[in-house]
Each structure stands twice: as C-alpha cells, then as structure tokens.
Structure 1
Amino acid sequence: MKNVIWLAVGVAVGFVVAHEANKTQQGKQFFNDLDTKAREFGEAISDGYRQREAELRAALSDVEKALDDVTNP
C-alpha cells in the first residue's frame, strides 16, 4: 500500500512539474517536440501493422487459390 501512495505522489509531482515547465517557451517547445515524435512513432507502428496485414492477406489469397486449384482440377 505504501508503494501505491508513493506512486500517486510521484505522478502528482510529475504533473505539477510538467505543468509549470509548459508555461515557459522552452517547455512548450519540448512538449511540442515530444508530441510530434510520439505521433510519428504511432504512425510508423500503424503503417507497419497495415503493411504486414496486407502481406498476410496476399499470402492467404495465394494459399486459397492454390487450394482451389488442387480441389477443383
């Protein structure tokens, strides 16, 4: 239970520090850069997922065609 309290205190302190840092020009720039990088990372993950899904769907289509050729000569 003590660890949970320390975790909550740490989160609260981190929130306050981030809020105060965001009031400065450098802080705003830092958080804007962080947000941009996080969005780019998320988009890269999403693009990779879609690309892999397309590859798997194409492979599945090839297997279905081959199976159809074998079962319906």
Structure 2
Amino acid sequence: MPYALFVEDHQISRALPTEHDVWHYADDAGLVVDSLIQDSTGKPERVLEQGYSIREAEPEEAAPLPGLEMPKRVA
C-alpha cells in the first residue's frame, strides 16, 4: 500500500511506495522538526509539523489538491 502526506484530511502529496519515502519528501519540504521528546539514544525525536500526517493512500488519490503548493524550506 502506498503512503502520502496529509494536512488534516486532505492528501497534499502524490502517493509514494513506502512510508519512509514520504518522510524524506516531508523532510525535503521542511516539514520535519526536532521535538523536545528524546528517543532511547537521547537524540531529539523527529516529528512532522503540527497538522501534518503520513497515512496510507490509494494510488488513484495521488494528485495534490488544486492550487495547494508545498511550503518552501526555511533556511
């Protein structure tokens, strides 16, 4: 089953083969941040910006919403 990036209940990315691929897509778009929660190694846990999620997606629902653009990465 492919996965995609969602904001609320709207799919905003194309469907990608794996959840790992969507994490890379979200990271490239600047949507992955360090949280205050630490993982078992003591490193900050990487999470999506508030309101975003990664979910299973149907291949035919892979088109982004019309007029919705991915945010530019903030330096």
Tell me which interval the TM-score lies in, with the shorter structure as reference length.
Answer: under 0.3
Q: TM-score, normalised by structure 2?
A: 0.26
Q: TM-score, normalised by structure 1?
A: 0.26
- Structure with the larger helix share: 1
Pick the structure with greater CA Rg: 1
- Structure with the larger strand share: 2
* RCO higher in structure (CA 8 A, sep ≥6): 2
